[in-house]
Amino acid sequence: TYPDEISLDGKTYKTDEWTNVPSYILDLTQRRLHQNPDHPIGILRDLVEQNMKGMGYTFYNDFKPGVTTYQNFDVLGFPQDHVGRSRSDTYYINKDNLLRTHTSAHEHECFRECKTPGYIISADVYRKDEIDRTHYPAFHQMEGARLWSKNSGNLEEIIAKDIEDIPKTNIIVEDPFRENCFSAENPKQDYMTDKEVQLVSTHLKKTVEYLVNQVFEAARKSAKLAGSTEPYLNEPLKIRWVEAYFPWTAPSWEIEVWWKGEWLECCGSGLVRQQVLLNAGLGEDKLGWAFGIGLDRIAMLLFGIPDIRLFWSLDERFSKQFTNGHISTFVPYSKYPGIKRDISFWLPKGVSLHDNEVMEVVRSHAGDLTESVVNIDEFIHPKTGKKSQTYRLNYQSMDRNLTNVHINELHSRVEEDLKKFFDVEIR
Ligand code: PHE
């Protein structure tokens, strides 16, 4: 049940059998939280930009979220059968257009157009996901990249000098791959010398470490200002690099930050594959790195925000708490009690239903009242071979009391849709 046409940011798209983007998601694309200077996401973006100013990067903040499948996947070398392309992971406007799933979707045009050695893109991105305190189908990323040319003199000296120019930090780094930065599992590209790989990856890692240091330093400062005396605030920041895989970088790594007793996955990165640069019309002399960092989790730590959904709240008790340039600790306002409903159903023989599909149906009726959708039981009937699935739905509002009448209404629409779309038999 999608309209024949979808309009987004001045373009009109014909829908087709790939279309799966609900209208409540399309609404989110107009919020542009990263461009709001008084919103935690915008404040964090600004903090990073202030720290990266004067280092040779162009900042791009208004790329629109509707991109082509080509930009988001093909040009980056995603294989045809990559899970990221599936309709259960990605919001398609139609077969050839989708809501970007990452800021890497703009690498192509930035490599083509950027006039400075590097660029930083900030944007909202979309992935079909479960919804809970730390997951939401819309979130924000910041993408950085930096290029050099093999034709610009003594490249090794130039990069070595650029590395010197990155401000020093006192971060404690665990990096088994600093010297041996590539291996059979995480290979280098043939067109780069060992030394070039070594230098470019050092530049990448030091840049990301600097960025992470600045952000977490700001977080510590604000926690101290708020009166916290926790010991971790005075210990140097600890990070580690782990190997990773991305279709458009080689070798690739991820940085994790040690924060309050946990390793937080923070940022994917790697040396850009030559094919991606050639696709953008650049010469064979170009080489460089890229990273992509998630902003929402970090903003939650910085501002002490307990639930990712609060970022999207229109309640003034949320938005009035933040101002440009300040990292302040969120003061919770009262939370209203939630309402639980369980739903159990039999599926047609041989069929099973993805948790995301159930989530989608619930959200299409309950929107942000959907606190969580949890799969609490499933089994196959020994005689009929049919599968039973049970979900616990928690409905809750951030700013008002829900009534049973209202929730019963929503819940029965959810049941109707599950019957209609998936042919289930409610138990
Ligand atoms: N786009 C990747 C992600 O969303 C992160 C990334 C960006 C990795 C650039 C490598 C280079 O996980």
Could you tell me if residue 412 is inside a domain?
A: yes
Return d(Cα 204, Cα 210) in angstroms, integer: 10
Average pLDDT over residues 206-227: 88
**Cα separation of the two ends of the chain:** 25
CATH number for 406: 3.30.70.380
Considering only CA atoms, which of 344, 312, 338, 357 is closest in space to residue 395? Answer: 338
> How far apart are the CA of 68 and the centre of ligand 1, in A?
17
**What's the total number of domains in the chain?**
2
Return d(Cα 122, Cα 139) in angstroms, integer: 11
Q: Looking at residue 333, what is its pLDDT?
A: 80
Considering only CA atoms, which of 145, 163, 124, 160 is closest in space to residue 57? Answer: 145
Average pLDDT over residues 335-355: 90
Say whether both 98 and 207 belong to one domain: yes
- 219: pLDDT strictly greater than 90: no
Say whether both 108 and 222 belong to one domain: yes
Could you tell me if residue 422 is inside a domain?
A: yes
Q: Which pLDDT tens digit goes with each residue over 24-63? A: 999 999 999 999 999 999 999 999 999 999 999 999 999 9
Name the closest-CA residue to atom 7, ligand 1.
292
Place of tokens 């993805």: 354
Residue 372, sorted as left (phi over 0), alpha (psi -120 to 50) or beta, turns out to be beta
Say whether both 248 and 389 belong to one domain: no
- 399: pLDDT strictly greater than 80: no
Residue-number span of the structural domain to which 77 is assigned: 5-319
> How far apart are the CA of 250 and the centre of ligand 1, in A?
12
Query: How would DSSP label each residue in 230-244?
Result: -GGGGSPPEEEEEE-
Say whether both 302 and 407 belong to one domain: no
Return d(Cα 396, Cα 403) in angstroms, integer: 10
Could you tell me if residue 330 is inside a domain?
A: no
Could you tell me if residue 94 is inside a domain?
A: yes
Say whether both 306 and 385 belong to one domain: no
Q: Looking at residue 112, what is its pLDDT?
A: 95
Say whether both 268 and 409 belong to one domain: no
Q: Rounded mean pLDDT of the chain?
A: 94
In contact, 393 and 340? CB cutoff 8 Å: yes
Name the closest-CA residue to atom 4, ligand 1.
102
Domain end residue (candidates: 263, 289, 319) = 319
State which amino acid sits at residue 283: G
Say whether both 272 and 361 belong to one domain: no
Question: At CA 154, angle to CA 156 and CA 272, rounded to 5?
Answer: 50
The encoded tokens of residue 128 equal 């079909």
DSSP H helices, 146-281, are 155-164, 194-225, 274-279
Name the closest-CA residue to atom 9, ligand 1.
291
- 221: pLDDT strictly greater than 80: yes
Considering only CA atoms, which of 151, 126, 161, 162 is closest in space to residue 141? Answer: 126
Say whether both 284 and 355 belong to one domain: no
Return d(Cα 93, Cα 67) in angstroms, integer: 9
CATH number for 142: 3.30.930.10
Decide the pairing of beta strands 238-243 and 172-174. parallel
Bridge partners, residue 135, by sequence? 132
Average pLDDT over residues 171-186: 92
Return d(Cα 300, Cα 134) in angstroms, integer: 9
pLDDT-derived band at 308, boundaries 50, 70, 90:
very high
> How far apart are the CA of 226 and the centre of ligand 1, in A?
34
Q: Give the count of alpha carbons within 13 A of 393, CB side only.
A: 26
Whether 65 lines ligand 1, by a CB cut-off of 6 Å, is no
Return d(Cα 393, Cα 144) in angstroms, integer: 39
Could you tell me if residue 20 is inside a domain?
A: yes
In contact, 365 and 414? CB cutoff 8 Å: yes
Average pLDDT over residues 242-268: 94
**402 burial level (CB within 10 Å; 0-12, 13-18, 19+):** middle
Return d(Cα 411, Cα 427) in angstroms, integer: 15
Most informative mutation of 246, 253, 266, 271 for ligand 1 (most atoms within 8 A of CB): 246
Return d(Cα 38, Cα 40) in angstroms, integer: 7
Whether 72 lines ligand 1, by a CB cut-off of 6 Å, is no
State which amino acid sits at residue 420: K
> How far apart are the CA of 121 and the centre of ligand 1, in A?
12
Q: Give the count of alpha carbons within 13 A of 281, CB side only.
A: 7
pLDDT-derived band at 205, boundaries 50, 70, 90:
very high
Whether 78 lines ligand 1, by a CB cut-off of 6 Å, is no
CB neighbourhood size of 56 (10 A): 13
Could you tell me the pTM of the whole model?
Answer: 0.85
Q: Looking at residue 235, what is its pLDDT?
A: 84
Ligand 1 atom nearest to 101, measured from its CA = 4
In contact, 238 and 245? CB cutoff 8 Å: no
Ligand 1 atom nearest to 293, measured from its CA = 5
DSSP-assigned letter for residue 424: -
Total count of residues recorded for the chain: 427
Say whether both 205 and 252 belong to one domain: yes
